[in-house]
Amino acid sequence: MRFADFHAGQVIDAGRYPLDEAEILSFARQWDPQWFHTDPAAAADGPYGGLIASGWQTCGVAMRLMVQAVLDGSETVGSPGLEQLHWYAPVRPGDTLQVQGHVLEVRRSASKPHIGVLRWRWTVLRQDGVLAMDLVATSLFDLRRGPQEGVAPLAPSLAVPAAITAQGGAAGAAPGGTPSGAAVASGDDTPPAAW
């Protein structure tokens, strides 16, 4: 998508991704080796009643699907960071995650008008409709650049093509979150010196 394609209130379905035990264990053993992510036997007697995926793996799945469905082919140049990140429910082997983007605000930078600023809420839902994670991010777009492409696609069986709607899906506020259609006043989000 291009920066001009975004508008406040928009809901973007970035697709779905299934997680199996082998993938959860592989990620956790390398990047988040806590026992409830790496030891199925111990996790069975733990506070979650079984093995759960690392929250950072859930973030990685969300990022991959958003790049594939939305950011690849855009003028994106990164992000200055997250406003919030919450994990609400565990992700278990066999869960399929659905990622959606809820556009909160679209504007030009006050000090660098060639920079587009997108503020959006990402939600990650399990197949049972339970909200597993959400975050609020700011993404920056250099409108002087042409679209940049190059992400390697996921195997066709792993992701559902993105669909874009004006409203719908899980658009509301999560606990502690911001309503997805809210217009929010904000200052200049561009990093100093970088632009």
φ/ψ of residue 15, rounded to 5: 115, -170
Write out pLDDT tens, residues 134-170.
999 999 999 998 766 666 655 544 554 455 444 443 3
The predicted model scores a pTM of 0.78
Domains by residue range for the chain, with CATH = 3-165 (3.10.129.10)
Which has the closest alpha carbon to 4: 141, 122, 186?
Answer: 141
pLDDT in tens, 8-36: 999 999 999 999 999 999 999 999 999 99
Q: How far apart are CA 62 and CA 131, in angstroms?
A: 13
Pairing relationship of beta strands 11-18 and 163-165 according to DSSP bridges: antiparallel
Which pair of tokens denotes residue 87? 């994990």
